[in-house]
Copies of this chain bind each other. A is one copy, B any other.
Amino acid sequence: MISKSLKDQFIQIVSADNYRDSAAEKLVYSYDATPNFQSMPDAVIVPRNAEEVSQIVKLCNENRIPLVPRGSGTNLCAGTCPTEGGIVLLFTQMNQILEIDEENLTVTVQPGVVTLDMIHAVEAKGLFYPPDPSSMKISTIGGNINENSGGLRGLKYGVTRDYVLALEAVLPNGDIIRTGGKLAKDVAGYDLTRLFVGSEGTLCVITEATLKLVPMPETKKTMLALYQDIEAAAKTVSKIISNQIIPTTLEFLDQPTLEVVEDFAKIGLPTDVKAVLLIEQDGPLEVVDRDMKKIQDICLQEQAVSVQVAETEIEAEALRTARRSALSALARLKPTTILEDATVPRSEIAKMVKAINEIAVRHNVKICTFGHAGDGNLHPTVPTDARDHEEMERVEAAFEEIFAAAIDLGGTITGEHGVGVMKAPYLEWKLGAEGIAAMKLVKQAFDPNNIMNPGKVFAKESRKRVVISR
């Protein structure tokens, strides 16, 4: 609860326009893109600069008010659901691109900039920002940084973390610090930049970021390989990598996903095959041509029934857009859509696909699987109905087995979605009790009063892992 006097102090900082606590406003920010999580904040605050953020954080710290920094709420781990109430912090007034530096190949932004807007702005200068989460049309850079977002181009180019050079951050004690710089190399103390990337709003509030850009690839080609054997598709993925070809994109979609996406996007995707791989390579023309030829050969060796290269950029873009719409398309099937992102080493992707299919049968749930196969990062997705408790229990049991299978294959419970509330009970399966204890040391050091996005990452209770005899 926020007292009248505290509310007045917040208004003093940000002005009455930027302090919102109507029922409607609070309802809007009571949930994010994660199904089944909702909790009302006490207020929504829209700061205009780092100084205001610092004052807000200090007040929250003094009064033990939870603070949840939020971009566009597209995350899928309930990471921005205000599960313990308090304040949701919005960055809609801190959404400027501050500088595109063409000499140092960097862009400096405020956290509220929409990812795709920034990508367009740098592309207009002939520069390239690779991380492209599927939500990039509406997600913000601040959200991407807090979640260490991935995307379709992660295989070749890495994830958000690999592009963050410098941060301005407000610590729970109100200190405004700057980490890193426009520097290719910097070892002046601990790497707080990368510690903050992916910290899910639990350590600090990010108020500015300088991101690395790279030269725009000269050309790009897109290919669709069709399979009647789902594991053959998965094996192709490992084989491309072990042949030392690193494509920009190596996406997998199984038949149930294809059907739904085609029904949604209507671009002529094949729906009579068991799986497709969407493969892209970019770079100098000669290299792209050579790699695409080699990849095509590998696909055919691995029993692809057909390999088609997109004829035009329009056709290629349609394929990419269709892939990016997979979640939205699947979400039309049933009232509730639960999407996961267990990730395994690339060599284990065929085993993981097999495990997911066996788990689906065993628990009698429909699992549509798609995702960044080249990263070992699949998105098994269950269209379901949260009101059907019996089915929800089977869905949860299935996902538990998927997490366990990923861990057994040397993988992780989350590749790019974050831990949030959703995965917190499973974190110990990946890290062990000692690993979690080490992370808690960091959390407690920065945020001793636990005001920063409380209830996220660290679970009150870890799930016990049940050993399943298979």
Instruction: Write the residues of chain A forming the contact surface with B, with a CB cutoff of 8 angstroms.
Output: 101-105, 126-127, 147-148, 150, 154-155, 159, 161-162, 171, 175-179, 181-192, 194-195, 197-199, 203, 214-216, 238, 241-242, 244-246, 283-284, 286-287, 290, 343-347, 372, 374-377, 410-419, 423, 427, 430-432, 434-439, 441-446, 457
| A345 proximity list for chain B (CB < 8 A) | 103-104, 181-183
Among candidates B194, B287, B441, residue contacting A194 with C-beta atoms closer than 8 Å = B194
| A159 proximity list for chain B (CB < 8 A) | 185
A-B contact pairs, 28 of them (CB 8 A): A126-B244, A148-B187, A150-B185, A155-B184, A161-B194, A175-B437, A178-B432, A181-B410, A183-B343, A183-B412, A184-B415, A185-B343, A186-B343, A187-B416, A188-B414, A188-B423, A190-B198, A190-B199, A190-B439, A191-B195, A191-B198, A192-B442, A194-B195, A284-B290, A438-B446, A441-B445, A442-B442, A445-B445
Among candidates B191, B415, B435, residue contacting A177 with C-beta atoms closer than 8 Å = B435
For A161, the closest partner residue in chain B by CB is B191
- In the bound assembly, the distance between CA atoms of A416 and B241 in angstroms comes to 31
- In the bound assembly, the distance between CA atoms of A171 and B440 in angstroms comes to 13
| A374 proximity list for chain B (CB < 8 A) | 184
Say whether B189 contacts A431, CB under 8 Å: yes
Q: A154-B184, A194-B195 are in contact. Are A189 and B439 (CB under 8 A)?
A: yes
List the number of copies, as a whole number.
2
- In the bound assembly, the distance between CA atoms of A189 and B428 in angstroms comes to 10
Q: Interface centre among A104, A344, A375, A376, by most B CB within 10 Å?
A: A104
- In the bound assembly, the distance between CA atoms of A74 and B436 in angstroms comes to 34
For A238, the closest partner residue in chain B by CB is B103
For A213, the closest partner residue in chain B by CB is B244
- In the bound assembly, the distance between CA atoms of A287 and B245 in angstroms comes to 16
For A182, the closest partner residue in chain B by CB is B345
Q: A101-B347, A178-B435, A241-B103 are in contact. Are A430 and B286 (CB under 8 A)?
A: no
| A105 proximity list for chain B (CB < 8 A) | 241-242, 244
Among candidates B147, B155, B188, B446, residue contacting A419 with C-beta atoms closer than 8 Å = B188
Q: A438-B175, A445-B444, A446-B441 are in contact. Are A431 and B185 (CB under 8 A)?
A: no
| A238 proximity list for chain B (CB < 8 A) | 103
